[in-house]
Amino acid sequence: MSTTSLFFTAAGVGLAIAAPVGPMGMLCIRRTLTGGPRAGLAIGLGIASGDAAYGLIAALGLVGISQFMLAYDRPLHLLAGLFLLYLGVRALLQKPAAESADGNGNGKLAQIGRAGALRAYASALLLTLTNPQTIIMFAALFTTLAPRGAFSPAIALTTVGGVFAGSIAWWCCLVTMVSLARHAIGSRLRHAIDRVVGLMLAAFGVVEIRRAL
């Protein structure tokens, strides 16, 4: 398999991994609704960065790090569950942000600044890193894609880069769709969707906590 083919195959895998709607997808949707596309893209970039980090660990065969993360699988699931539960409860209790008016008197949706985007990125990255089972998934992926079982550092980086590209492509598509809907729907419906997403985040958090116990 050529380097280009390997990259696009890995990109397809990254897209397939990111596409199912789970807690991270719900988080991305909520932050896009409440903070705008910059917030959603920051979340997506954090998720893709976390996946790439675990992919790199698996690709380069960093056994010590892999074993350490897998050994603390339960505490990490507990941390992830508590964080998701916190985000869900916060979304349920948070009051809807007031829309400011532009020069023509039209409602203007809230947008987060650079500092807010950095915080969103960091939270998504840390939340993604609390799932060490990703290492096992990527290890299986690299074993499948490795030509003739030889996995050089260059091939490893190409594969990780492809996975990252496919993942971030999905998050860009999701943020774009939610952003378009965000401007098309009214504030009440947007607030109702935010509450539903918050409830789902809390539910995902409870599931993660139960996995850790």
In the three-class reduction of DSSP (H, G, I as helix; E, B as strand; rest coil), residue 108 is classed as strand
Q: Is the pLDDT of residue 97 over 80?
A: no
* 154-171 per-position pLDDT tens digit: 777 888 888 899 989 999
113-131 mean pLDDT: 87
Asked whether the beta carbons of 212 and 74 are under 8 A apart, the reply is: yes
Share of the chain above pLDDT 70, in %: 80
Dihedral pair phi/psi, residue 157, rounded to 5°: -65, -35
Greatest mean pLDDT among 185-189, 190-194, 196-200: 196-200
* 103-112 per-position pLDDT tens digit: 443 445 667 7
pLDDT confidence of residue 187: 77
Domain residue limits, the chain: 3-95+107-212
pLDDT confidence of residue 193: 83
Q: Which residues on neighbouring strands pair with residue 100, listed in sequence order?
A: 108
**Least confident range of 14-28, 99-113, 122-136, 173-187:** 99-113
pLDDT confidence of residue 128: 85
Calpha distance 44→160 (Å, rounded): 16
Diameter of the chain measured on Cα atoms = 64
Per-residue b or e along 127-164, where b marks 16 or more CB atoms closer than 10 Å to that residue's CB: bbbbbbebbebbbebbeebbeeeebeeebbebbbbbbb
* 128-151 per-position pLDDT tens digit: 888 766 767 777 776 666 555 555
The predicted model scores a pTM of 0.79
Q: Which residue has the higher pLDDT, 97 or 8?
A: 8
Calpha distance 7→160 (Å, rounded): 8
Question: For residues 59, 164, 20 and 143, what is the CA-based torsion angle, rounded to 10 degrees?
Answer: -20
Residue carrying structure tokens 């280009």: 4
pLDDT confidence of residue 108: 55
pLDDT band at 174 (very low <50, low <70, confident <90, very high): very high
